[in-house]
């Protein structure tokens, strides 16, 4: 189904563009432990790309490599057609890669609004003296960014809690606020680390709807890690399967589902 | 009954992000400002200025400074006394070197120099956190006091090793030295406090404040979503030390007039300001005021009640003060880590709904 480097059209008729991010022969070691072993894959513009695999397969490490938190010992990361030099995580964020975390990493002492506003850091251009003065540039900038943030708050339906301190929120809402914070950065690539972990069915449905809407409405490229197979197979356009740090499968959900190695390693043998 | 937000509609984001979004709060703030600037200067006398108002104003500036570092950015510092000493000695050197320059400029420059020193001693915070950083700032405290004690250049080779504030003025009004009048010193400090509080509030409600709080709440996540930790931590150290330096300069030049560094800016001073921040409320500008007011008032009130009213010996009352402060610190840390400011917030939330429970 992958015709060329020009992209492809998904089953539901969405057009997927060229390569946004390409991982080339990534190897990541922690001392003697090889977390990721010679993995290559690409993420294309506008697609929802899933990374799946059993516990300890190296999925989160892979996401951490993409977001610059780990620097791989071997291999290259290409972003928007250019090889990415080793950089600090905040520089990666400024390039337009936003993410959420497996264990929610919100700023507990701040309100929902402040949390989401923090996501817009790369749009804040005033210096500390202008901010100390507040009147003028800083106030105008705050207003503009607040407007953008309010759109995302509307989009994710969290208006009623915008002034609530995050520490008072239930788990499902925290996950949504975290998504809002990542979206506020208007990312070119959005990384979601187990967005549905620990949720009940309704919350999972809500979250799936939001992920699809984000992809649909903003055209955001999304890479996600998820354990719920039903969700992964329904949401994603292409799936990378990892096991023990190796890539054992890559393709559409159907291709992956029928890949014998994947079935053996992870999905188990079908009973029906 | 009139403490309500119902009916107080905001139609712009600008209105929504103002310091006092509730009308009643806003008017109360204007009233406080009017009293502080318009009434107190006319009725002030030397006793009120020296026993209560000057220490309150100056400690409030220091507490705002430390609160930015500890309460907003989460970097524990025990070097406040040392940084106040930097402000005081910088101010002294400037006052003696340039006698004709306005005192305003001297104090501001002293703050700037302290900010620079603060950034230098803040550099370890990029590598270490928590207790270890506290110990590193403790080293700054002892080193700075030692430095000002041992290098005669800092105290202009005076025989006593003390520094004495010469008489200096602002627009012809004497604010330092023995001839300064109470109202002038009061207004001078009040202006610095007001501007410091406004600047601190502007910074903490905007982008800079959010990066500080992000670093405080979860530094790794902050870095991954785009906060430059180096910039956030060092600006916090710079702004914090700037205010602490101003407080130190005012403490020496306007309040005390003569300073022996080990006695005035020792480790006790660091702890005193830290206690103000803890009792007042970490991460709250109002808390800095409340904490400073509380710890300045407590000994005065105790002395009034204990010595003057009940006739207890002075030393017992002085020790009672220490006992009460210690007990309060433990109480606040266990029961209400966000201090007086949180109690105030809770009271306001209840007031909004009063007389209904929900």
Q: Do A109 and B217 touch (CB under 8 A)?
A: yes
Cross-chain CB nearest to B228 (options A90, A106, A147): A90
pLDDT of A78 > 90? The answer is: yes
pLDDT of A3 > 70? The answer is: no
- Model confidence band, residue A76 (pLDDT cutoffs 50, 70, 90): very high
Q: Hey, where are the domains in chain B?
A: 44-266
* Residues of A in Cβ contact (< 8 Å) with B222: 107, 118
φ, ψ (nearest 5 deg) of residue B6: -60, 135
Q: What tokens were used for A92? A: 């990666």
Residue A212: the pLDDT is 94
Query: For the residues B108-131, what does the mean pLDDT come to?
Result: 92
Q: What tokens were used for B141? A: 């405290």
Distance, in angstroms, between A17 CA and closest chain B CA? 26
* Residues of A in Cβ contact (< 8 Å) with B216: 107, 109
- Per-residue pLDDT of B179-202, as tens digits, reads 888 999 999 999 999 999 999 999
Contact B233, B125 (CB under 8 A): yes
pLDDT of A270 > 80? The answer is: no
Residue A229: the pLDDT is 84
* Residues of A in Cβ contact (< 8 Å) with B202: 131-134, 138
φ, ψ (nearest 5 deg) of residue A103: -100, 115
Q: Do A108 and B211 touch (CB under 8 A)?
A: no
Write down the mean pLDDT value for chain B.
Answer: 90
| A70-79, A159-168, B329-338: the lowest-pLDDT one | B329-338
Residue B174's SS3 state is strand
- Per-residue pLDDT of A80-107, as tens digits, reads 989 999 899 999 999 999 999 988 999 9
Distance, in angstroms, between B205 CA and closest chain A CA? 9
Residue A268: the pLDDT is 60
In chain A the domains, ranked by start, together with CATH numbers, are 1-96+187-272 (3.40.50.300), 110-185 (no CATH)
Give A7's strand partners. Answer: A4
Q: Do B202 and A133 touch (CB under 8 A)?
A: yes
| B355: preceding bond cis by omega (within 30 degrees) | yes
Residue A7: the pLDDT is 79
Query: For the residues A42-49, what does the mean pLDDT come to?
Result: 93
Cα–Cα distance measured from residue B317 to residue B299, given in angstroms and rounded to the nearest whole number: 8
Distance, in angstroms, between A113 CA and closest chain B CA? 11
Chain position carrying tokens 């210096």:
A127
pLDDT of B7 > 80? The answer is: no
Distance, in angstroms, between A161 CA and closest chain B CA? 15
* Residues of B in Cβ contact (< 8 Å) with A99: 224-225
Cα–Cα distance measured from residue A70 to residue A48, given in angstroms and rounded to the nearest whole number: 23
- Per-residue pLDDT of B234-268, as tens digits, reads 999 999 999 999 999 999 999 999 999 888 999 99
Cα–Cα distance measured from residue A2 to residue A238, given in angstroms and rounded to the nearest whole number: 10
Test mutation, A107, A153, A175, chain B, max B CBs within 10 A? A107
- Per-residue pLDDT of B200-210, as tens digits, reads 999 999 999 99
Helices (H), B19-172: 23-34, 40-43, 46-48, 54-66, 80-97, 103-122, 131-150
Please give the C-alpha separations between residue B346 and each of B6, B38, B128, B305, in angstroms, as whole numbers: 18, 31, 35, 30
- Per-residue pLDDT of B51-94, as tens digits, reads 899 999 999 999 999 999 999 999 999 999 999 999 999 999 99
- Model confidence band, residue B36 (pLDDT cutoffs 50, 70, 90): very high
Q: Do B13 and A69 touch (CB under 8 A)?
A: no
Residue B252's SS3 state is helix
Residues 6 or more apart whose CB falls under 8 angstroms from that of B92 comprise: B154, B155, B156, B163, B165, B252, B253
Q: Please state the length of chain B.
A: 358
Test mutation, A63, A101, A113, A128, chain B, max B CBs within 10 A? A128
C-alpha A138, offset from chain centre: 30
Assign 3-class secondary structure to chain A.
Answer: CCCECCEEECCCCCEECCEEEEEEEEEEEECCEEEEEEEEEEEECCCEEEEECCCCCCHHHHHHHHCCCCCCCEEEEEECCEECCCCCHHHHHHCCEEECCCCCCCCCCCEHHHHHHHCCHHHCCCCHHHHHHCCCHHHHHHHHHHHHHHHHHHHCCCHHHCCCEHHHCCHHHHHHHHHHHHHHCCCCEEEEECCCCCCCHHHHHHHHHHHHHHHHHHCCEEEEECCCHHHHHHHCCEEEEEECCEEEEEECHHHHHCCHHHHHHHHCCCCC
Distance, in angstroms, between A240 CA and closest chain B CA? 23
Q: Starting from the edge strand earliest in sequence, which strands make up the sheet with A238-243, in order?
A: A97-99, A189-193, A221-225, A48-52, A238-243, A246-251
DSSP B219-237: HHHHHHTT--HHHHHHHHH
Q: What tokens were used for A2? A: 């992958």
Residue A2: the pLDDT is 43
Cα–Cα distance measured from residue B86 to residue B34, given in angstroms and rounded to the nearest whole number: 33
Write down the mean pLDDT value for chain A.
Answer: 89
Among B235, B210, B241, B190, which residue's Cα sits nearest to residue B64?
A: B241
Contact A180, A152 (CB under 8 A): yes
Residue B356: the pLDDT is 76
Contact residues, chain A to chain B, C-beta under 8 Å: 67-69, 88-90, 92-94, 98-99, 101, 105-110, 114, 117-119, 121-122, 124, 126, 128, 131-134, 138-139, 141-143, 146-147, 150, 181-182, 185
């Amino acid at each position: 189904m992958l015709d060329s480097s020009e992209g492809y059209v998904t089953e539901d008729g969405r057009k997927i563009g060229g390569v946004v991010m390409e991982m080339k022969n990534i190897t990541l070691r922690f001392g003697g432990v090889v977390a990721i072993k010679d993995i290559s894959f690409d993420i294309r513009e506008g697609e929802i790309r899933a990374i799946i695999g059993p516990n300890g397969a190296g999925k989160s490490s892979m996401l951490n490599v993409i977001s610059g938190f780990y620097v791989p010992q071997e291999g290259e990361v290409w972003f928007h057609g250019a090889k990415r030099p080793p950089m600090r995580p905040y520089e990666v964020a400024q390039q337009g890669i936003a993410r959420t975390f497996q264990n929610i990493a919100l700023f507990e002492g701040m309100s929902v609004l402040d949390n989401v506003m923090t996501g817009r850091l790369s749009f804040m251009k005033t210096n500390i003296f202008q901010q100390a003065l507040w009147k003028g540039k800083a106030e105008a900038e705050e207003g503009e960014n607040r407007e953008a943030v309010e759109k995302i708050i509307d989009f994710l339906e969290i208006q009623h809690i915008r002034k609530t301190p995050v520490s008072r929120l239930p788990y499902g809402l925290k996950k949504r606020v975290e998504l809002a914070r990542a979206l506020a950065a208007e990312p070119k690539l959005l990384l979601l680390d187990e967005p549905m972990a620990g949720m009940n069915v309704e919350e999972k449905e809500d979250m799936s709807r939001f992920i699809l809407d984000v992809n649909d409405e903003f055209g955001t490229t999304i890479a996600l890690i998820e354990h719920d197979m039903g969700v992964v197979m329904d949401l994603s356009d292409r799936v990378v399967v990892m096991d023990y740090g190796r890539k054992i499968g890559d393709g559409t959900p159907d291709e992956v589902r029928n890949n014998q190695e994947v079935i053996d390693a992870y999905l188990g043998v079908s009973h029906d | 009954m009139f403490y309500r937000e119902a009916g107080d509609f905001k139609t712009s984001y600008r209105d929504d992000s103002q310091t006092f979004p509730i009308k009643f709060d806003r008017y109360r703030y204007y009233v406080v400002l009017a009293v502080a600037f318009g009434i107190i200067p006319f009725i002030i006398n030397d006793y009120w200025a020296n026993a209560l108002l000057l220490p309150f104003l100056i400690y409030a500036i220091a507490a705002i400074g430390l609160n930015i570092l500890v309460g907003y950015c989460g970097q524990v510092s025990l070097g406040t006394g040392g940084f106040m000493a930097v402000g005081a000695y910088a101010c002294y050197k400037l006052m003696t070197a340039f006698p004709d320059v306005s005192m305003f400029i001297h104090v501001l420059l002293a703050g700037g120099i302290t900010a620079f020193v603060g950034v230098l001693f803040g550099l370890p915070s990029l590598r270490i956190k928590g207790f270890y950083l506290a110990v590193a700032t403790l080293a700054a405290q002892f080193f700075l006091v030692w430095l000002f004690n041992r290098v005669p250049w800092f105290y202009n080779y005076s025989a006593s090793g003390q520094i004495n504030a010469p008489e200096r003025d602002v627009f012809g009004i004497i604010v330092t030295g023995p001839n300064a009048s109470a109202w002038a010193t009061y207004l001078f400090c009040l202006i610095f406090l007001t501007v410091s509080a406004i600047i601190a509030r502007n910074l903490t409600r905007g982008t800079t404040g959010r990066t500080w709080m992000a670093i405080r709440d979860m530094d790794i996540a902050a870095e991954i979503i785009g906060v430059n930790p180096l910039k956030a931590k060092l600006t916090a150290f710079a702004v914090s030390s700037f205010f602490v330096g101003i407080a130190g300069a005012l403490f020496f030049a306007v309040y005390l007039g003569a300073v022996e560094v080990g006695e005035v800016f020792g480790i006790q001073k660091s702890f005193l300001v830290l206690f103000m921040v803890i009792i007042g409320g970490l991460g709250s500008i109002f808390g800095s005021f409340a904490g400073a007011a509380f710890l300045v008032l407590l000994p005065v009130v105790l002395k009034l009640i204990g010595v003057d009213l009940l006739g207890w010996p002075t030393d017992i009352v002085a020790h009672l003060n220490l006992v009460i402060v210690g007990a309060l610190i433990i109480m606040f840390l266990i029961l209400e880590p966000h201090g007086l400011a949180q109690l105030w917030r809770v009271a306001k939330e209840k007031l909004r709904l009063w007389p209904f429970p929900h």
